[in-house]
A and B are shown apart, each in its own frame.
Chain A
Amino acid sequence: MNNFVNSSSILKRLGNHVLELPLWNYRVATYSITLFGLIAMYIVISTPLTLSEQAIFAILAFGIALVIRTLPWGQAGIILMIVISLMMSLRYMYWRLTSSVDFGTALDAFLGWGLVLAEIYALIVLILGYVQTAMPLKRNAVMMPTDQTHWPTVDVLIPTYNEDLDVVRLTILAALSIDWPADKLRIYLLDDGRREEFREFCHEVGAIYLTRENNHHNKAGNLNAALSQINGEYVAIFDCDHIPTRSFLQLSMGWFLKDPKLAMVQTPHFFFSPDPFEKNLDTYRIVPNEGELFYGLVQDGNDLWNASFFCGSCAVLKRESLMEVGGIAIETVTEDAHTALKLSRKGYNLAYLAVPQAAGLATESLSRHVVQRIRWARGMAQIFRVDNPLLGRGLTIWQRLCYTNAMLHFFYGLPRLVFLTAPLAYLLMGAEVFSSTAIMVVAYALPHIAVASMTNSKIHGRFRHSFWSEVYETALAWYIFLPVTLALINPKLGAFNATSKGGIVEEEYVDWKLARPYIFLLALNLIGFLAGLIKLATDDGSTGTLIINLAWVTYNIIVISASANVAKETRQLRATPRVNASLPATILLSNGKTIVCETSDFSRNGLGLKPLTAVEIPVGEQIWVSIFRGDKEAVLPGTVSKGGKSIGVLFENLSVEQQRELTQMTFCRADNWVNAWGQAAKDAPLRSLREVLTYGVFNLAPLLRDASRDIYLAIRARSTRIKLKA
C-alpha cells in the first residue's frame, strides 16, 4: 500500500514535471512539437483500417484510457486522455465524412447531412471544451497589505428593477457590512423602479440611492447611468439578490494591486436555494447544477487563457478600464460577457477567483429559469453576430477559442433536437442516415462516444455528473433553439426579460406549456420504438441497424422522460429559503433565564435553533435570541413559531439596526459558502447513468398518465365550452 502511494505521487510529480519543462518556453520547440503532433495525429485519424483492425484499435485505445483514468497522474493524465479522445473522435469524423455520406435518396441525404452537421457541431464544442478546461488555473486570493492607506476606493453598485424590498434590503445591509475602510467604500442602489420606499430605506441605512430618467438598456443602462456619477477607483457589482459576505473585497481586491493591467475579478455565483432542476428532480446538493460546472471548472479553465468572463454580478471592475470600453456594453442582452470581450480586446487582463464570496436565490420555477437561459443564449448569439470573437483585433487565439466556445455552447438547441430525433429517420421513415454497415458505425462511433464521455467525466469530476448534463441540456434545448436562431439571423429580434426571484409554488403542478414539446418528442420516440420492435419481429435482414437505432431511441426516451419531469413543479411554500448552518446562539426567556443553543438554519427573518437540553417554550412566546460570531454578539427580539426539540424563531419587527446585525451574523459570514462549494461526489459515469436511467424509467409511466389526463380534461373543457356557446 505504502509503495503504491509513493509510486503514485512520483508519477504525479513526473507528469507535472513534464508539463513544467523549460522546453515549453522555447517557441521553436513548442512549434516543432506541435507540428510533429499534428502530423502524427493526421496519420492516426486518416489511416484506413478493416473492421477487425478498427475494432482492435478501438479496444486498445479504450483500454488505455480506462487505465489512465484510474492513475493519479494529475493534469498530465487528463491531457493524455484528451489526446486519446481526440484521436478516436477525429478518426470517427474522418471516417464519417469519407465513408458514410454516400447517401442514396434525397431524403437520406437531407437527414444524413443534417445529422453530420449536428455531429460536427458537437465535435467542435468537444474540442473547444478540452482547450478550455484542460488546465484550470486555480488562482489563489492575494491578501491586501496590512497598511490600509493604499487601499483603493470602491463603489458597490446594486441595480434593481422590480424586486421586493425584502430581497434587496438584505443585499444592501450586507454590502454595508463589507470589511473595507469606511471612507473608501460607498454603496449605491440603482433603482429603475423609482420606488419611494427604497429611497427611504437607503437614506435610513446609509446607502446612496440613484435613479434615472428612463429605463433604456435595462440593467446595462442602469449601471452606465450610475458610472457617470461615481468616481471610485473600482466598482463592485451585485445583482440585488446576491448577498456579499464581509470578506468579499479583501479577498477579491488583492490581484488588482498585483497586476496593474487587471480590469476585472469575477467570483462564483453561489445559490443557497435549489434551482428548478434540483428542486423538481430532487438532486439538490447531490448532483452538481449547471452553475457548478461553469464556476467550478469552465471559468477556472478560461482563466488560464486570460479569458475569464464577467458574469454581471459578484465581480469587481476597474472603473477606468471599464470607462475606456464605454462602460457596460449595451449592444446585446448579455452585457456582462460582451463587456469582458471588449476589455480583452483592449488588452486588459481578466481574472477569476473560485471562492464563493456572495450567495443568492436561484430562479424558482422552470419557466423563469427558461426565460433566463433564453436571454443568455440570445445574448451570446447576438455577440457572435455583432462582435464575433473570431474576428477583430486584440485577442489571442486562445481567448478567441474560449469566447467562441462560450457562444457556441448556447447553440446546442438544434443539434440536440437532431440527436433526439435522428433514430426516428430510420425507424419511422426508413431513411439511411449512415451509408455504411451497422457494425462499422459501431466500431467507429462507440469508441468516439465512450472515450469522450470518460475523458469529460475525468475532467469534470465533482463539478458535473455525466448524463445529468444531457438531461439539463435536453430540457432547455427546445426553448433556446428558436431565440438563438432568430438572433443569429437578426440580432435585434426578441426582447429583454428580467428574471424575478423569490416566489412561492403553492400547489404541485405540471407546467404543461413547458412540457408540451417534450411530451410530443416523447410520444414520437415511443412510436419509433414500437415501429422498431415491429420491424424487428418481421425481420427484413437489417437487424444490426435496427438494434443500433432501438438502443439510441431507448436512450432518448429515458433522457426526454427525465427532462420532461423538470416541468413538474414541486411545492415550495417557504418564501424565504433557509440556509443550513450551526452557529452559536442563546435563547433569553422573558423570565431572565437563558438556554444555550446551536442554530440549525437561518433565513432573512428567522432561525432554527437546537437547544442544549430539551425545553418547552410555548409557540407565540416572545423571546430574545443572541447570535455569536467570535467576540461579536447580536441580540434580537423574536417570536417562537415552533417548539420542541428544534425551536423555530421568527423575527418580525426588527429595527433597521437589528436587521443589519442579523445580516452580519448570518449571511455576511465569510465562511458561509466556502464549505458547500464543490462538495458533490466525484462523477462516476456508470452511477450517473444508472441514476438517470432509473429516474427516466420510473417517471415515464406517471408522466404519460398525467399527460393523458390533462389532455383529456383540456379536451373535455373545450367541448363543454363549445356546447355552452351553442
Chain B
Amino acid sequence: MKIISVVSAKGGVGKTTISANLCVALRRQGSTVIALDLDPQNSLRLHFGVAPSHHAGVALSLLRGSNWAKEIVQGGAGCAVLPFGHVSESERINFESALTKDPLLLSQQLSSLGLPEDTIVIIDTPPGPSAYLKQALSVANIAIVVTLADAASYATIPMIDNLIEQYCLTRTDFIDYLYVINQLNRARQLSSDVADIMALQFSNKYISIIHQDQSIPEALACNQDALAYAPESQGAHDLIDFAMLINTILNDGYRAPKNEKLS
C-alpha cells in the first residue's frame, strides 16, 4: 500500500478535484486505487458518481468501532472510494478528538484494510492545519501540495512546508513531496509570474502544472471524470502527465534533484 496525501494551506484550491482526477488517471495507467475522503465536507464521493444520498463513511464507522473495509464503495472509472460520510456536528467533534488523541489512528485503520502492496491510497484533506492534516501527513509516502498561482496561495506555502518537514521528512518510508500549481492561466501576468517565481524558488522540486480549463468543472457537473469528459483538453493532458510523474516517483522510490535543462 502506497499512500499519497493531497494537502493545502488554503481552501478552494482544487484539492478534491485533483485527488479524484489523479485517482482516475492512475487507475487508467493500471494501478489499483482507493480514494479516501478525510474532509468533513464529504464531497470526494461526488466525483465518483456515488449518490448524494449515500451517507455512510469512515467517520461514523470509526466511532462505531467497525472496520473501514465495509465502507468501501465502488465508484466510477474503476476507482474505489472511502467516503468521509455524513455526520452530525457532535459526531464530527468526537471523530476529530479521536484523531487528536491517537496519532496512529489513521495508520492503524489503513493497515487493517489489508490492502495489497501495490494499491495506492489517495487521501483528500481539509485545508489548513488540523488533526486530519497531521494524520494524513504522518502516513503519507508522497505528499502533494496543491496551490493556485496567486499571491495568497504562494504566501501560505511555508506553513505547509513546515508541517511536511515535521511529519514527513523525518520518516524513512516517506518518498517525496511535490507542488501542483492548479488552474494556471499564463495569459494572466500575475498568475504567470507567480508560477515562474515558484519554479525558481523550488527548482529542486517537481512542480506540476494543471492549466485552467473549463472542461474540468464541467465534467463534474456532467457526472463524469475530466479524462473521459474532455480527453482533448489541456486539463486532461496535464492530469495524465501528473499521474505519470507520480508513478515514476513511486516506482523509482528515490529521485535525483531536478536540473534545469536547456531545451
Contact = CB atoms under 8 A, between A and B. Distances in A.
Contacts of A260: none
Interface stretch (A279-287, A623-631, A680-688): A623-631
A179 B261 CA distance: 12
Interface string B204-218: 000001011111001
Contacts of B261: 630
Given A179-B262, A633-B186, A593 B213 contact: yes
A513 B232 CA distance: 55
Contact of B199 (A250, A592, A611, A631): A631
Interface in A601-652: 611-613, 615, 624, 626, 629-631, 633-635, 637
A381 B193 CA distance: 57
Nearest to A634: B186
A100 interface: no
Given A611-B232, A613-B231, A633-B186, A586 B214 contact: no
B186 A626 contact: yes
Contacts of A629: 263
Interface in B169-208: 185-187, 192, 199
Interface in B229-263: 230-237, 261-263
Contacts of A670: 262-263
Nearest to B199: A631
Nearest to A626: B186
Nearest to A612: B232
A646 to B, nearest CB: 15
A592 B211 CA distance: 11
A215 interface: no
B254 to A, nearest CB: 22
A595 B231 CA distance: 9
B214 A613 contact: no
Contact of B187 (A588, A595, A596, A613): A588
Interface string A120-160: 00000000000000000000000000000000000000000
Contacts of A626: 186, 211, 234
Contacts of B263: 629-630, 670
Contacts of B262: 179, 247, 250, 670
A594 B261 CA distance: 27
B25 to A, nearest CB: 15
A624 B212 contact: no
Given A611-B232, A670-B262, A592 B213 contact: yes
Contacts of B232: 595-596, 611-613, 615
A593 B214 contact: yes
A624 B230 CA distance: 18
A59 B73 CA distance: 87
A586 B237 CA distance: 10
A618 B218 CA distance: 22
A591 interface: yes
Given A179-B262, A626-B186, A631-B199, A591 B214 contact: yes
Contact of B234 (A596, A613, A615): A596
A593 B215 contact: yes
Interface string A243-278: 000010010000000000000000000000000000
Given A626-B186, A635-B186, A635-B187, A596 B199 contact: no
Contacts of B187: 588, 624, 635, 637
A684 B261 CA distance: 41
A593 B237 CA distance: 13
Contacts of A624: 187
Nearest to B195: A633
B31 to A, nearest CB: 23
Contacts of B215: 593-594
Which one of A179, A631, A637 has the greatest number of beta carbons of chain B within 10 Å?
A: A631
Contact of A594 (B192, B209, B234): B234
B214 A592 contact: yes
Which one of A247, A596, A615, A633 has the greatest number of beta carbons of chain B within 10 Å?
A: A596
Given A588-B187, A633-B186, A594 B235 contact: yes
Interface of B: 185-187, 192, 199, 209, 211-215, 218, 230-237, 261-263
12 contacts: A593-B213, A594-B211, A594-B233, A594-B234, A594-B235, A595-B232, A613-B232, A626-B234, A630-B261, A633-B186, A634-B186, A635-B186
Closest 10 CB pairs of A and B: A592-B214, A630-B263, A594-B234, A635-B187, A635-B186, A613-B232, A586-B234, A612-B232, A594-B233, A594-B213
Given A592-B214, A635-B185, 14 more contacts: A179-B262, A593-B218, A593-B230, A593-B233, A594-B214, A594-B233, A594-B234, A595-B232, A596-B236, A613-B231, A613-B232, A626-B234, A631-B199, A637-B187
